[in-house]
Structure 1
Amino acid sequence: MHSSLIEQHLAELEQCATQGSILDLACGQGRNGLFLANKGLGVTFADRSENSLDQVSQTLSAIGGSSQLWPVDLELPGKNPFEGTQFSAALVFRYLYRPLIPQLMEAIIPGGIVIYETFTLENRQFGRPNNPQFLLKSGELEDWFNEWETLHYFEGVLSDPDRAIAQIVCRKPITKKSSSH
């Protein structure tokens, strides 16, 4: 089942899709991107797992449309996987690789949307993931996007299943905020 955040912000994503492809980053089985592809939106499914992308491909062949698969290792040291690419929006769920964040932000077009949800340090009380390398610190997600327009932010515990997460939906500014000297 896709995330309710996707449905809640479908209008914004539909608008973004008129400007370019929507990135489903570290897509796994593609549940969120496939929901959008099924609505006729162009999605780029990025993952390093060929098996996951094969499953996404099988579903996409039934849907049709303009979506594409991108087999990519997002965690190669010293590499920017987004170099030369731009996306109108990005979906990131249950994935955290901190060095990628500035590169992801740069790859989103002005006015584009990021929907990001992943686990926080509090999640250790519920089990996995419990490695701090893969868990957000309090306020960390919000801090990354502090110059973007926040459309939604939540940090806390959800149930069924129990998990501690942070979520943000934000829009990249059309123009950079000017800094005063």
Structure 2
Amino acid sequence: MNHASLTPSPWIVRWSHLLAPVAGVLDVACGSGRHMRWFAERGHAVTGVDRSQEAVDAAASFGHAVLADIETGPWPFEGQRFGAVVVTNYLWRPRLADIVAAVAPGGVLLYETFAAGNEQVGKPSRPDFLLQPGELLAACAGLRVVAYEDGFLCDPERFVQRIAAVRPQATSAMPPRHLLQAP
């Protein structure tokens, strides 16, 4: 699938207003960069990571693209924080903690992937690639959940879990002004 020709996920678009105007964005398993393009067009510095050289070559036209297999190799962003971390259609449980930790204070996690039940309608169907009920919520402990869904979508048919969550600011109990605005 050539993600460069696809529109961004409606979930990512819907919640992208949560990002600070100059937030740096990390797109995990970025593919050809459809979400990198979305955020770059809105003035964000974007970084993507994927294990496919072809995908990284395509994504590089939108920002900084890193070739890395985050399932078998080290996390290439150790100690780095981003104003937003975006993940769609990807799950590798051993990296969930790294992904959540990469969200900076005041930053946003936008995550959407397949959930249990998807094996009834298509692929992926292996439990290794399907979130269990509440699993994404549990992985986001410590973040303030703005939106969460776990269920069936019709077009295309699939079961998903998705979350929009914000890491609280370390110094202020009041969320930034841009978080108070409705989508």
Name the counterpart of 1:179: none
**Equivalences, count:** 165
Helix, strand or coil at the partner of 1:9: helix
Contact 1:82/1:104 (<8 A) preserved? no
| Aligned with 2:65 (options 66, 69, 72) | 69
Amino acid in the other structure paired with 1:80: W
Once the two structures are TM-superposed, the CA of residue 7 in structure 1 deviates from its matched residue by: 2.1
In structure 2, the residue corresponding to 1:133 is in which secondary structure? helix
User: Aligned letter for 1:126?
Assistant: V
Select the residue among 161, 167, 171 that pairs with 1:172: 167
Q: Secondary structure at the match of 2:149?
A: strand
Q: 1:6 Cα deviation (Å)?
A: 2.3
Alignment partner of 1:10 out of 13, 16, 25: 16
Inter-partner Cα distance in structure 2 for 1:162 and 1:80: 32
- Give the structure with the higher percent helix: 1
Is the 8 Å Cα contact of residues 112 and 171 (structure 1) preserved in structure 2? yes
Distance in 2 of aligned mates of 1:129 and 1:90: 23
Q: Counterpart of 2:28? A: 25
RMSD: 1.7
| In structure 1, C-alpha distance between the alignment counterparts of 2:39 and 2:18, rounded to whole Å | 12
CA contact (8 A) 1:29 1:55 kept: yes
Equivalent residue number for residue 63 of structure 1: none
Tell me, what secondary structure is at the counterpart of 1:10?
Answer: helix
Residue 27 of structure 1 aligns to which amino acid in structure 2?
A: C
User: Do 1:26 and 1:92's aligned partners in 2 also have CA atoms closer than 8 Å?
Assistant: yes
CA contact (8 A) 2:36 2:59 kept: no
- Is residue 46 of structure 2 the alignment partner of residue 43 of structure 1? yes
**1:85 pairs with one of 77, 80, 86:** 80
Question: Which of 132, 141, 144 matches 1:146?
Answer: 141
Task: Give the AA of the match of 1:73.
Answer: D
Amino acid at match of 2:91: L
- Cα offset, 1:40, TM superposition: 2.0
Q: Which amino acid aligns with 2:75?
A: N
State the distance in 2 between where 1:123 and 1:71 align: 29
Within 2, Cα distance between the matches of 1:167 and 1:10? Answer: 14
Write out per-residue CA displacement over residues 91-120 of structure 1, whole angstroms, 9 at most, x where no aligned residue: 000000111111122222111100000001
Deviation at 1:11, TM superposition (A): 2.1
| Residue identity matched to 2:17 | A
1:131 lines up with 2:126 in the alignment: yes
Cα offset, 1:56, TM superposition: 2.0
Provide the C-alpha distance between the structure 2 equivalents of 1:54 and 1:173, rounded to a whole number of angstroms. Answer: 34
Name the TM-score, length of structure 1 as normaliser. 0.85
